Amino acid sequence: MHEHHVYIYVVDQNYIPTQQQKDKATLFFEIVVAKAEHQPYGWENAEIPIDDGSVIKSPFALTAGFLLGSNKYWLIDASESAEEADEEDYDELSFGTELRSEVMHQLEHYIGTKLALIWVADE
């Protein structure tokens, strides 16, 4: 199995979140990612290498690699609502799994601006 990383990054390159905003978002992201081989963390002045060889630059990003998550936070099974999902029941996340929209909105609330999510495969 190939390893992959998820990155959730600030879209506006001119937006600089405060330390408090970054701390709140990072703490929440650590809850969203149940377990990971590469533990979740916040990355200032991120340079995200994407699959086509280019780089996404962002003042701040959240990242984790080869991760597990719950349907409470990730859209693993669309037939189960976040309220019905068991936070302790988590699965390996497939490449491209999306965050539930309410989770992305909460992260955007903590950071104070629009975020984007991208998966990158490691070769």
pTM for the whole structure: 0.92
List domains and CATH numbers for the chain: 4-121 (3.30.70)
Residue with tokens 């990971």: 36
Instruction: Provide CB contacts within 8 A for 10, sequence distance 6+.
Output: 17, 58, 59, 60, 61, 111, 113, 114, 115
Give tens-digit pLDDT for 52-107.
889 999 999 999 998 899 989 999 887 777 788 776 777 888 899 999 999 999 99
Q: What is the pLDDT of residue 123?
A: 60
